[in-house]
């Protein structure tokens, strides 16, 4: 009789331990699973447009996410400094004109290029580097990076790095612009582990539709309407409108007291601030 009772107590103790273990596991995953799921939640970049001296605003949540991962989309609101960037997925015959303008106006820029661009327009890539511009990574195949594995994401970046280094004197890449402006907490972290700074933007408009170009005034007006201190300007070199508007826009912005700096200048400022 005593042995039977002892066995019952043992069974109860075992069942209690199992129950506690199950509860602990459920409790753990109730907190960690949403966090893990959210870490790769796709974010499509967007913001409230700037203008009239007021900066564009993405909101506190996105501001914090980018800052926590060393990324940015605008510079200081206290300086009339602009950062000119271009996305180059393919060549449409206007990049040379853009480079001519930048050279004449002594304006630095960053060109975010894909594998297709490296293979189809190597001479232009070489010229970008030779004339002092930054070549940034826009991935090799232009995928949604939130839909690829960490390993594949790293491969996408390294392929661009390797081919750029083969073509030019730029042996390292520091800046990444995610294809289609889609990213997640996971992709931000993986890219940062690879030594990259995500560069988003605070001024853009629909300029990439090559069959719907509206004339240089459209591009010029969109730039001027949204301009603000610290703006990271995103343009596409496939646009005839942009190529024709750029000389006029740069000259007018200089008249308004703006100056153009490179992404490297931005990073140097941030290092001084954090030092």
pLDDT at res. 273: 78
Written as one string, the DSSP assignment of the chain is -HHHHHHHHHHHHHHHHHHHHHHHHHHHHHHHHHHHHHTT--EE---B--BTTBPPB--HHHHHHHHHTT-BSB--TTS-EEEEEEEESS--S-HHHHHHHHHHHT--EEEEE-HHHHHH-HHHHHHHHHTTPEEEE--SS---GGGS-HHHHHHHHHHHHHHHHHHSS-----EE--GGGEE-HHHHHHHHHTT-EEB--SB--S---GGG---HHHHHHHHHHH--TTBEEEEETT-HHHHHHHHHHHHHHHHTT-EE--HHHHHHHHHHHH-
Kindly tell me if the per-residue pLDDT of 15 is higher than 70.
Answer: no
Residue pLDDT, tens place only, 107-126: 999 999 999 999 999 999 99
Higher pLDDT, 37 or 272: 272
Catalytic residue among 116, 236, 241, 265: 236
pLDDT tens-digit readout, 183-240: 999 999 999 999 999 999 999 999 999 999 999 999 999 999 999 999 999 999 999 9
Torsion 241-242-244-245 (CA) sign: positive
> How much is the mean pLDDT over the chain?
89
pLDDT band for position 26 (cuts 50, 70, 90) = very low
Task: Provide the pLDDT for residue 14.
Answer: 53
Which one of the listed residues 87, 138, 207, 228 is annotated catalytic? 87
- Tell me, yes or no, if 236 is annotated catalytic: yes
Q: What would the mean pLDDT of 68-97 be, rounded to a whole number? A: 97
Q: Does the annotation mark 63 as catalytic? A: no
pLDDT tens profile 45-55: 999 999 998 99
Q: Which fold has domain 47-274?
A: TIM Barrel (3.20.20)
For residues 142-169, average pLDDT = 97
What pLDDT does 32 receive? Answer: 32
Q: 219 and 250 in contact (C-beta within 8 Å)?
A: no
pLDDT at 30 over 50: no
pTM of the model: 0.86
Residue 21 has pLDDT above 50, yes or no: no
The more confidently predicted of residues 152 and 1 is 152
What are 234-261's pLDDT values in tens digits? 999 999 999 999 999 999 999 999 999 9
């Amino acid at each position: 009789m005593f042995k039977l009772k002892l066995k019952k107590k043992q069974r109860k103790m075992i069942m209690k331990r199992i129950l506690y273990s199950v509860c602990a596991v459920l409790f753990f995953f109730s907190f960690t699973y949403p966090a893990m799921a959210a870490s790769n939640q796709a974010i499509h970049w967007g913001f409230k447009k700037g203008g009239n001296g007021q900066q564009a605003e993405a909101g506190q949540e996105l501001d914090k996410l980018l800052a926590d991962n060393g990324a940015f989309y605008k510079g200081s609101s206290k300086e009339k400094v602009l950062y000119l960037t271009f996305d180059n997925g393919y060549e449409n015959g206007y990049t040379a004109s853009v480079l001519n303008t930048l050279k004449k106006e002594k304006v630095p820029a960053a060109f975010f290029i894909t594998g297709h661009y490296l293979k189809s327009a190597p001479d232009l890539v070489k010229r970008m580097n030779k004339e002092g511009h930054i070549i940034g990574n826009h991935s090799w195949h232009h995928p949604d990076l939130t839909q690829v594995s960490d390993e594949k994401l790293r491969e996408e970046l390294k392929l661009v790095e390797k081919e750029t280094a083969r073509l030019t004197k730029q042996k390292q890449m520091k800046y990444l612009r995610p294809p289609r402006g889609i990213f997640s907490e996971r992709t931000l972290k993986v890219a940062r582990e690879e030594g990259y700074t995500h560069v988003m933007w605070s001024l853009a408009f629909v300029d990439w539709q090559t069959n719907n170009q509206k004339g240089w005034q459209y591009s010029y007006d969109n730039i001027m309407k949204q301009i603000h201190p610290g703006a990271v300007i995103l343009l596409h070199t496939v646009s005839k409108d942009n190529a024709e508007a750029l000389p006029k826009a740069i000259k007018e912005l200089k008249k308004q007291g703006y100056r153009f700096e490179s992404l490297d200048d931005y990073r140097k400022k941030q290092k001084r601030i954090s030092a």
